[in-house]
Structure formats: C-alpha cells, structure tokens
Structure 1
C-alpha cells in the first residue's frame, strides 16, 4: 500500500521507490537484506527526499545537553545506518565518544569509511532475545533515527535502550507515522506508558514533524510525517 503521491522528478522517484514502494513487509531478516542492498544509495536517496530526522534529533539533543558537556557526552547511535545522525551531531560539536549499532554491515561500512564519525561500530541485530552487547548505564545519550518499527527494532526492545543509558541520561528517537505503521505505534505507546507507570522513565517530548518531503504533481509538496520522542531515564 502506497500512502503518498510519488515525486515528479525521476531521480526522486527512485528514492521514493526504495523508501516506500520497495520497503518490505516481513520479518527482520527481510528488512536487513533490504538495507544491505540499499546502503550504496541510501544517503543520496535521503537527500533527494529531504530526510529531516538528523536535524530534528540534533535540535532535541541541543535542548538536553549543555554546550559545556559536548566533549564529554557519550553517545550511542542505535540503528546508525550510514551515519547521518552521527555526522549531524559531530557537525554541531559533539566530540565525545560515539558508538554506532546497526544490523546492516554494509550500512556500517559506509558510516565508518572515513573514520571521522564513530569511535566504535557494532554489527548487531537487537531483539528481545538478543540484547545489546553493552554494559549497563554506559551512555549519557542514546539516539535513534527511525529505528523502532515493525520490521526493524520492536517495541519490546525499548527497555534495552534505557538499560544502557545512565540515570538522568536521555533517549531521543524518531519514528515514521503512517496508517500502515499504526498497529506498531500502538505497541510502542503501550510500552512507553508501562515504563512511565513503573517510574523508569520520564517522557519530555512527543511531537510530530516533517520527516520527508518532495515535489509531486502540480508542483505540490508531499510530506511524510514522523514523530520525535524524547525521554529521561529516572
């Protein structure tokens, strides 16, 4: 099911195809294979569709981390992909230790090719039965651009992001909002509410934003909406 009008530009159409039309339904392995094959053109496709999650995450992080702490802030980029979020954070002065986790080795290879973004890269498929190979409370901040979804990281893995975050640290996520994604978002909200009720986390922000945009027929702008989620670990 395609919920949006296609771009008129032929190059952007190809990017749209990878993002929405070709985006597979199935188990995590199917999605993993999709990202392995998409790695070489992923950055260009995101640029053509004006992917906005890195900037939105950076803005949120700027509201959480004092400028004086930028060099000391230990960051995990969950579902780091080719490194778009990590690069955006480096570009605005976050110079501390940064770790990338992704289940696509090809994506990680792109992220690590110039050695300027991440100190460490971990190829790992996070599931409820396969936790992150990372010690408790290691990071001050965990970020994830579009990483939680029905065929990527499931809602029941959300507690794992807080396990590796120090007390008082933050988790900043973006997610795609769509009709097709609604059942998963309901599961995600249920997990968030459970953690809040258990006094494990505090939700600081939950708001929509334009995650992708492109020009379609009649010069109209089509948008794919995402949501920003910001938490503090108690």
Structure 2
C-alpha cells in the first residue's frame, strides 16, 4: 500500500500537467497491479455509485478514465452492456484499457482544458463519469460547465473528487458547481463523503456526487 500511495501522491501533487503525464506514462504498465488488493473505500464506493446509476442508462463517457478500471467495474460487476466511451489525457494509460476487452466503442485521447469542452457532440451521452480526475494539473477546476454539455438533458453526471487539494482547487470547483446549481443547469441527487481506506482513522477526504442535467 505504501508504494501505491507514493506513486499516487507523486501524480496528484505534481507541479504541471506535463509532469503528471510523464509520471502516468512511466507508471502505466504497472498501474493496475499497484492497486491490486488494496481496499480504497473512496474509489470503490464511487465505482459502486456509478454502477447503481448505470442501470438507468445506455451510453456512458468516462472522463479521466485512465486504464479503464471504472469501465471494467461496470462491465464485470454490474453487467453494464451499453455504449462505453473513455477519455483521458494519457495514451499509455488508455492503451492498457484497450487491452482489457471491455467492448469500448471509442478511446479518446484528450487533455481537458479550463473550458471543459470535449471532442464529442453536445448532449450525446446518458451519463458522464469522472472519478478521481478532478485534481490540480489533471482536469482544471473550472471544467465542469463545459464537460456537462456532452450529457443529454435529463442525463446524469457522477463525480468523485478529493475534499482537500493543493492551492484553492476545491474552492474553485465548488464555486463552478454552485453556479450550475443556481442557474438550474444541474440538480444534485446524491452526495456522500468517504475516508480513503477501510478502518482508516481520519476525517473524510473524498466526496462522491451524482447530478442530473436539467
């Protein structure tokens, strides 16, 4: 667990997008093995939340998909048989996902910018998922308004995000989220905080959200 934690922290607390992507490329071939056997409650609870709501939809885009761990969970543990597209900034991670035989329709290499605009048609998915990728020097904190454009009206957005980050990242994310709620673009239908590991004596550091696009 210590080795995995060091690798994860190296990526999470990097100083630039370029630095994070270099680290992920070096880590890509052993990424899944690093997490094997570790009960990361925050991530698995978020995956379970995605699985619960995936039963209601027929098309999903996973943003910040990495090696496709969430897609694998939906396919293998929740029987999701609908359309699955995955998007990530790192091609080495995406190639690991491609090897898993998850019946992925589109593998999209794209670094999300501050605008959040995605290289897909507006209102083309029933659900967008983004678990653990709203992190400094990964997906910008301002990106949510742009990302949700890819979701159909009445569709769902599932987000898992750390409560504490460097700088003012979480505050900026929350401000953009509140703006969407105030403008009637989104309605929150689920929120829960989690600690990172089972039996870990700490205050919650991860939040899982589910929103409906109005």
RMSD: 2.2
- The residue that corresponds to 2:23 in the other structure is 34
Residue 145 of structure 2: aligned partner:
159
- Relative to structure 1, the CA distance from residue 183 to residue 129 in structure 2 (aligned partners, 3 Å threshold; closer, same or farther) is closer
Q: Within 2, Cα distance between the matches of 1:160 and 1:22? A: 24
Runs of 5+ unmatched residues, structure 1: 1-11, 214-219
User: After the TM superposition, which residues 1-234 of structure 1 pair with which residues of structure 2 at under 5 Å, given as runs?
Assistant: 12-21=1-10, 23-53=12-42, 55-65=44-54, 67=55, 69=56, 73-91=58-76, 92-128=78-114, 131-178=117-164, 180-181=165-166, 183-213=168-198, 221=200, 225-234=205-214
Instruction: Quote the Cα distance in structure 2 between the aligned partners of 1:130 and 1:60.
Output: 23
Task: State the SS of the aligned residue for 1:64.
Answer: helix
Q: Is the 8 A contact 1:111 1:117 kept in 2?
A: no
Which structure is larger by alpha-carbon Rg, 1 or 2?
A: 1
Distance 1:228 1:170 in 2: 13
Whether the aligned pair in 1 keeps the contact of 2:62 and 2:130 (CA below 8 Å) is yes
CA–CA distance in structure 1, aligned partners of residues 106 and 15 of structure 2: 30
- Is the CA contact (8 Å cut-off) linking 1:161 and 1:171 kept in structure 2? no
| Counterpart Cα distance in 2 of 1:57 and 1:78 | 14
- Count the aligned residue pairs: 212
TM-score by length of 1: 0.82
When normalised by structure 2's length, the TM-score is: 0.89
- Which range moved further: 54-63 or 204-213? 54-63
| Distance change in 2, residues 1:79/1:21 (3 Å) | closer
* More displaced stretch, 197-206 vs 96-105: 197-206
Cα distance in 1 for residues equivalent to 2:82 and 2:36: 26
Q: 30-39 vs 16-25, which deviates more? A: 16-25
Q: Secondary structure at the match of 1:127?
A: coil
Q: Deviations over 1:88-145 (max 9, x none)?
A: 0112111111001000111000000133242210011010357211001010000111
Instruction: Identify the range of structure 1 (146-155 vs 39-48) with the bigger mean alpha-carbon deviation.
Output: 39-48
